Chain A
């Protein structure tokens, strides 16, 4: 597993936080809407307490609550349903990419140096979102609402009446049985009355007097006067204001799926409206262009005349501007909390503090005591009675039915207020307020009870939490019971078929094991949790497992690589292309250059494909190139497929990039050293034509003896011409240069006489390649040998001959002869060849052929230097000037002419 930002303890504490519901009056909602925030959103950044809280457990021991976070959500918030959840999670993961240029983390294991991202923020995001969107279940109470805030605006005509209304509403929601959502922890939920006062518009004295009244009614600990909106609207908006909401922005959309959907819908509607307006009345728009068409800061003012008579109409109207406001706040970086000053932030912080310490924690303390009393009394009397009766009847609390149900105990067994659940409730309460010791004991007892009842779902839940509580106990009086977790996961998955719970359990346990440096166990756990039903989850877990392998004391590099590939595969199946590409690239580091060609080819091929779909054609081409240049062990069919893919990608890249210099092609291989160069006209064998007076042609093999003979002859002729001496600069004329001739000097070529270059190809693949429009690439520098033509313009050298089509297969090694005709004197350098590469499959018509144009350089290495001592001990190569002829002015050319009628 990769490193995480949070510590394990923080992570687990944040995964299970006490839940508080919010019920807001319309007026109050409007007050917070001025900031583009709902009331729960408004509170969210302030929900972690900075100071310590205290409460007493049933034994009158003081429990210190540190860094408690509470979760405040709207009462109608519903965790997203399965398909919706999938979409949200995959969105969250795909948005979260590794930062560009993040510090590289190099792990050295054996002879591997791996560059791996140490953190995996996408996994943390996934986990966080996943845990937050766990649906409330019947068998555990951790995410059931413990309290409800009733929020009423001070502008209300009679706030107390409104409070009463909301209170009844809450009671109805909890007790009428009409609602399956939300779930409540205890029958008598804590109600906390909040009077919301808008400083910018309300009457402060009236608010204060209402608050006094409330104190009388609900007690000082049950109500609060929250004053916000010190600043009216955006007037004089201070740009320096911190925006604590920004980091919760994304979470908000996850957390409030209704809002999120609204946003999508309203956005579409808004756009439509906008378009209509634009189409109809451009003049009007121009007229009001000084002020933005949608005044975000006062959308509510216009819509609310504030009279009660039109309440029903208002209800309809109300939603629209709000939606629009929320919609735009998502799309554009509209500052949130524009009406709030730093003072207001402090007010909110104080409010949360007050609520938690004066209202919330005492409420929990009271309930723990109550539950404890119940349990103690039950333990004394009923427990023994129950067990006695159990023994008597040999069945249990659910007689008769129990035998039938024993097989089907994965589901729910107890009604929500059953006495068996009270101990679990108490355990959950203790857990939420960080009293882990008591929580562990309760979970442990609950586990035994549930197991004896064969209530497997309940037992698994208790096991899971018992393990977590045991781990969180400070001082660690007992080791972390990993087997509890294993049993819980197995039960969740196999007996209850509840993958969500199994996954949660797995995530928690893996994190705990990781913190205890039991990477091997964590990896096993994570791998076990992968399954066919969710590609995204499997991919993320496999990746974490891979990180576990690499973090072990003796890193398992190959296992890491293998699981990375599996993860990449699952990522690509889940449509997470970027993550898939990253996984494969990291795995490639292990496989690269180790001779595991099939695996390497597979990885390179996948990287190529993914890069291509992600519009990174350069990387794609590079990856495909790797597959083709190494002597591939793939079958012919596979090679043909790779080649086609490569050509396709290459073509689309060259179309994108436009034409600069042509890119280098990897295929076919050029045998540079076997290149032959011939100066002079080609031999014309036809009768009655003039021939150059030479015996040399490209058709012949090089014959050392013969060339030696000619060389001596030439030397003798020269010495005769020079009256007996051979000049030092003497150089035998060589018409044909190859790897065996002396190529140290620049050869001479004559203007208007052709130069023929023969290049030899080799095809490493098992499939034929087609080369077409093959021609030479050259560079020419003008140099006058007392040039009689002066600076005459025109082509310096022309490519006389191009090879139209050449099929290169593995067995047939053709050579291509290409001709140049210099028109000026100077220095010519033949650089390489340019050609179109295509598949040489027979049966394809000419038009179908996918072919790409590219070049390959001709670089000829000279003979190894072996003369002096230094040269012998080092490895150096001499120059080879075969391809760099000097073009001289016209020279006489002896030609001959054979006549037939000799005999």
Chain B
């Protein structure tokens, strides 16, 4: 529960800071999930939108039906990434994650070491940069 399955950051310096940011954002994710549950607005909407903006970064969240959380942190100055782009990134990520889960040798809860997943993430990061 809330252990990181997969973390990747580019560039790698300052990685610690991103880990802290992502971990802290989980609080907001949980708040949003519980809020959605109460309002029963749209159970099928998995995208949570902007969790919170910091000075330098924007943090977006996404939760699968099995409560696996995806968090994307992007540079605030990156204006090419609108809400829609982020949404499609999450969808792609979710598809790839589903493939990982389909692997019979993958034990749910273990860190993800799939090469396919890795390459999807890499291509997304290259596009985003």
Contacts and interface: CB of A to CB of B under 8 A. Distances in A.
Interface string B1-32: 11110000000000110011001111100110
Interface residues of A, number: 18
Contacts of B23: 558, 561-562, 591, 596, 599
B27 A559 contact: yes
A559 B26 CA distance: 9
B27 A599 contact: no
B1 A599 contact: no
B108 interface: no
Interface in A361-417: none
B76 interface: no
A595 B20 contact: no
A556 B27 contact: yes
Contacts of B26: 558
A598 B1 contact: no
Interface of A: 110-111, 549, 554, 556-559, 561-562, 565, 591, 594-596, 598-599, 602
A554 B20 contact: no
A349 B63 CA distance: 66
Contacts of A602: 16
B24 A562 contact: yes
Contacts of A549: 27
A595 B15 CA distance: 15
B20 A565 contact: yes
B3 A595 contact: yes
B17 to A, nearest CB: 10
B64 interface: no
B34 interface: yes
A111 B1 CA distance: 9
A98 to B, nearest CB: 25
B111 A595 contact: yes
B27 A557 contact: yes
The secondary-structure label for the interface of chain B is helix
A598 B27 contact: no
A594 B24 CA distance: 13
Contacts of A558: 23-27
A111 B31 CA distance: 15
Contacts of B15: 598
Contacts of A598: 15-16, 19
B58 to A, nearest CB: 17
State the 7 A-B residue pairs at the shortest beta-carbon distance, nearest first: A595-B3, A556-B27, A562-B24, A558-B27, A559-B27, A598-B19, A599-B19
A606 to B, nearest CB: 11
Contacts of B19: 596, 598-599
Contacts of B30: 110, 554
A599 B31 contact: no
The secondary-structure label for the interface of chain A is helix
Nearest to A635: B12
A596 B19 CA distance: 7
25 contacts: A110-B30, A549-B27, A554-B30, A554-B31, A554-B34, A556-B31, A557-B27, A558-B23, A558-B24, A558-B25, A558-B27, A561-B24, A562-B23, A562-B24, A565-B20, A594-B3, A595-B4, A595-B111, A596-B3, A596-B4, A598-B15, A598-B16, A598-B19, A599-B19, A599-B23
A594 B2 CA distance: 7
Chain B interface size, under 10 / 10 to 19 / 20 to 34 / 35 or more: 10 to 19
Nearest to A590: B23
Contacts of B34: 554
Instruction: Point out which of B1, B2, B27 has the most chain A C-beta atoms below 10 A from its C-beta.
Output: B27
Contacts of A559: 24, 27
A635 B1 CA distance: 26
B102 to A, nearest CB: 23
A565 B21 CA distance: 12
A561 B27 CA distance: 11
Given A554-B31, A596-B3, A596-B19, 6 more contacts: A110-B30, A554-B30, A558-B23, A559-B24, A596-B4, A602-B16
A559 B25 CA distance: 8
A554 B29 CA distance: 12
Contacts of A554: 30-31, 34
A557 B27 CA distance: 7
A599 B20 contact: yes
Interface string B31-51: 100100000000000000000
Given A554-B34, A556-B31, A595-B111, A562 B20 contact: yes
A599 B16 contact: yes
Nearest to A593: B3
A554 to B, nearest CB: 7
A44 to B, nearest CB: 45
A734 to B, nearest CB: 38
A454 B24 CA distance: 42
Contacts of A111: 1
A559 B34 CA distance: 17
Contacts of A594: 2-4
A557 B23 CA distance: 10
Contacts of B1: 111
Contacts of A561: 23-24
Nearest to B15: A598
Interface string B106-122: 00000100000000000
Nearest to B31: A554
Contacts of B16: 598-599, 602
